[in-house]
Amino acid sequence: MALVCWALVRLGLQLRNACKRKISIVDIINAELPQTQCGQCGFAGCLPYARAISQGEAINKCPPGGTSTIRRLSILLNEIDEPLDPAHGLLARPKVAVIREDECIGCTKCIQACPVDAIVGAAKLMHTVIEDECTGCDLCVAPCPVDCIDMVHADSRPISWLHPQPTDSWRRLIGSEPAEC
């Protein structure tokens, strides 16, 4: 009897230690977010939003993550799989910024705005976007004084082309835009 009790206590202690070593809940939620750092959710980046979610914030405020992120979060947090909150933006296919280089005046404003340092260039010299590093967060578009930054669909690159599902439901996964775009 005593032996069984001792074993149980040992087991309990082990469990506790295992829990202590575990990464925090915020990190687990943060790993599910798309890390575009765009701030469309109303928080300053993905980590603050993850922290808010861990405290009970709604999970449907992330347009870049779209349906798939909401689904993953709803499974993780055992919540209802709600559609995206349109107040924070609409579903959109992933985009990347492209600078029209002949119009760029080299003001470095977009470089300062980019949260992931994906724009290279120097003062009075042309800037350009490193396509692989660009999260498509839109943050560089507003500061540009000459409006020379375009957001283009990342899907136009062949690497991210997906086979369409016969019912086209893949579009719901990554989000689709009206036909005229």
| Residue nearer to another protein on the CB measure, 26 or 88 | 26
Residues that bind another protein (CB under 8 A): 15-16, 19, 24-25, 28, 30-31, 33-37, 45-46, 54, 56, 67-68, 71, 75-78, 94, 103, 105, 107, 115-118, 123-124, 132-133, 135, 145-146, 148, 158, 160-167, 169-170, 172-174
d(CA 74, CA 12): 30
CB 119 within 8 A of CB 140: yes
| Residue nearer to another protein on the CB measure, 4 or 80 | 80
Contacts 24+ apart (CB under 8 A), 139-145: 139/37, 139/38, 139/39, 139/113, 139/114, 139/115, 140/97, 140/110, 140/113, 140/114, 141/97, 142/113, 143/109, 143/110, 143/112, 143/113, 144/107, 144/109, 144/110, 145/105, 145/107, 145/109
Taking the complex as a whole, the smallest distance from the CB of residue 30 to another protein amounts, in Å, to 8
| Residue nearer to another protein on the CB measure, 13 or 90 | 13
The Cα-based distances of 169 to 23, 36, 84 in angstroms read 35, 24, 16
Taking the complex as a whole, the smallest distance from the CB of residue 149 to another protein amounts, in Å, to 13
Taking the complex as a whole, the smallest distance from the CB of residue 90 to another protein amounts, in Å, to 18
Taking the complex as a whole, the smallest distance from the CB of residue 180 to another protein amounts, in Å, to 20
| Residue nearer to another protein on the CB measure, 86 or 164 | 164
| Residue nearer to another protein on the CB measure, 8 or 24 | 24
Strand partners, 96: 152
